[in-house]
Amino acid sequence: MAELKLKSQRFREQREADWRRLEQLMDKVEKGSARALTDDELLAVPVLYRAALSSLSVARATSLDQGLVAYLETLTARAYFFVYGARSTLGSRFVQFLVQDWPAAVRALWKETLASLAVTVMGTVAAVLLIIQDTDWFYSFLDPDLAQGRDPSASTEALRKGLYDAPEGGGLSFFATYLFTHNAQVALMSFALGFAFGVPTAVLIAMNGAMLGAFLALYFSHGLGWQLVGWLSIHGVTEMFAIILAGAAGFRIGWAAAFPGDLDRLAAATAAGRTAATVMGGVVIMLLAAGLLEGFGRQLITSDVARYAVAGATALFWGLYYYGPRPRGVLDVG
């Protein structure tokens, strides 16, 4: 027992000066900030931290004084958060998300994005072709109660009026609100169900495309395709792009779960989920933006040319934001 106590004392005497210096530096930081340290002190912290960590390892292995072990555990924990912890502010992290993390994550999912777009287009085209052959298919893709008379039995004038009516007059106001809510749900569910090898994601994306196809088939059959696309595009460019990206995020997780490679399925899905979750954070922002465009644009913009101008501007913005040239030093994520 006496020999163990002597070893503990010698161990402390040989290293205590470094521990005390690290403790003083941590006190200095915690009372102020990292700016309170000089350049030499900043460089010394990682060295002192690793030395304290080594001391802790020896103390545990040799069953030294438990009080000393507890002291070193506390000291190394404090230093760890300084050396490895995030010292950026919430505002700077959000700016980094907007400038770097979000667009980089979207670019990393380009294959999944193309797959999600392809499934959407196939669903849309399939619905259009089926309805052209038999208008009864319309009711398979769009609830009659939701359509509220805007179905194959509606007159051209009634459909046209709905595209330009004032919000308080009814028309497509209710449908527009439902469409946004529906699309937001599809986006979130497409991501959430991606773990099931992406199959539910593909079904949801295809069904959403089919609903769009039913609406397009109806209005094009009445010679109102140009007007309908303009009405939808004010917010639809942002909204549909968000859904496609949500589908891509779901596909990324599903692909990782189906083909995990060297990792087990859970680990592979978790790794893929980091990138997918970053994309979904951006999708929420896109849906909020689409909601604002839908709410204000539908009320204030009734010119077809102006509607297409807004749609073109939003498409150009998102295209450049995600896929345009990036500043040097901005790295993609895998």
Q: Which residue has the tokens 């609903």?
A: 211
Q: How do the pLDDT tens digits run along the chain, 334 residues long?
A: 555 555 667 777 788 888 899 988 888 887 766 677 787 888 888 889 899 888 888 877 776 677 788 888 888 888 887 777 655 566 777 888 999 899 999 999 999 999 999 999 999 999 999 999 999 899 888 876 666 677 888 899 988 887 887 554 444 556 566 667 777 888 989 998 988 889 999 999 999 999 999 999 999 999 999 999 999 999 899 999 999 999 999 999 999 988 888 777 777 888 888 899 999 999 999 998 988 888 777 667 889 999 999 999 999 999 999 998 866 544 444 4
3-state class of 246 per DSSP? Answer: helix
Rg (CA), the chain: 29
3-state class of 208 per DSSP? Answer: helix
pTM: 0.71
For residue 99, give both structure tokens.
């400038």
The structural domains of the chain, with segments of one domain joined by +, span 8-87, 93-323
Angle between helix 66-84 and 39-61 (nearest 10): 140
268 near 249, Cβ under 8 Å?
no
95 near 182, Cβ under 8 Å?
no
For 203, residues 6+ apart whose C-beta sits below 8 A from its C-beta are none
For 51, residues 6+ apart whose C-beta sits below 8 A from its C-beta are 15, 18, 22
* CA–CA dist 146, 211 (Å, integer): 12
235 near 294, Cβ under 8 Å?
yes
Count helices and strands (H / E) in the chain: 15, 0
